[in-house]
Amino acid sequence: MGKPLQHWKVLPHGRLAQIDENIMTVVGKIHTPLMDLPRRMTVVRLKGSRLAVFSAIALDDDEMAGLEAFGRPAFLIVPSDKHRLDAKIWKDRYPAMQVVAPAGAREKVEEVVKVDTAAPQFDDQNVHFVVVPGTRGREAALVVRTANGTTLVLNDVVGNIRDESGVGGWLLRLVGFAGKAAQIPKVVKLAIIDDAKALRAQLLQWSEIESLKRILVSHGSPIKDNPRQTLRDLAGSLG
């Protein structure tokens, strides 16, 4: 993800979009010599208009104003040690935010910003923080329920990049973040998955959520077409 930022720096990004009554998301882009990597921030509004910011991205003034109109930043969720790029600058901007990271990623995240907890108390029964089983305690997820359905927010454990092209697209396909269908990236399997059976069981458990409406991933398009079957397919790919 590159060297963690020390000062507020806005990299290319789109516009915040409200996709449910309490969920906003925005897609940014990290440019490297070989590829442009899409990345997603998801913002969940909790009770009391508090915001849980998952995989933070520094936005321009207009979009930050829109985010602040949506609610008060209260939780800064760093979902893995690979998603530290904007963590420090967000904490600097909003010192009262509670920094959250899964226990297995805490040491690396704390090289950038002090972590307050690996088990946040949101005081909102509709939003649940999950350390994804089978990932060495290094990947976090959110399950968010609204009157319109349930949204599953994942990080790197699933990739769904569909508009890749050129050398960069070839590399993204090679490592498993891009392809014709959502998949568990090969590099993620090698780097952090230590218990495929446990991960498979979690994916199947999520697939049983009857109200599941969408899956948001940090790298790639939202999964909205039969997300429950997608989770079953992903579980099946683990054997």
Question: Does residue 172 fall inside a structural domain?
Answer: yes
Question: Does residue 159 fall inside a structural domain?
Answer: yes
Q: Which residues form the domain of 156? A: 17-237
Of residues 89, 97, 83, the one with CA closest to residue 28: 83
pLDDT attached to residue 236: 96
Domains of the chain: total:
1
Residues of the chain with pLDDT under 50: none
Q: What angle do CA 44, 66, 50 make, to 5 degrees?
A: 35
pLDDT attached to residue 34: 77
Contact 140, 122 (CB under 8 A): no
- Paired tokens of 165: 């092209």
Question: Does residue 220 fall inside a structural domain?
Answer: yes
Question: Does residue 10 fall inside a structural domain?
Answer: no
pLDDT attached to residue 1: 58
The CATH number linked to 87 is 3.60.15.10
pLDDT attached to residue 228: 98
Of residues 131, 151, 150, the one with CA closest to residue 141: 131
Question: Looking up tokens 């998603």, which residue turns up?
Answer: 83
pLDDT attached to residue 140: 98
Question: Does residue 11 fall inside a structural domain?
Answer: no
Question: Does residue 9 fall inside a structural domain?
Answer: no
Question: Does residue 6 fall inside a structural domain?
Answer: no
- Paired tokens of 18: 């409200």
pTM of the model: 0.96
What would the pLDDT profile of 54-99 be if each residue is shown by its tens digit? Answer: 999 999 999 999 999 999 999 999 999 999 999 999 999 999 999 9
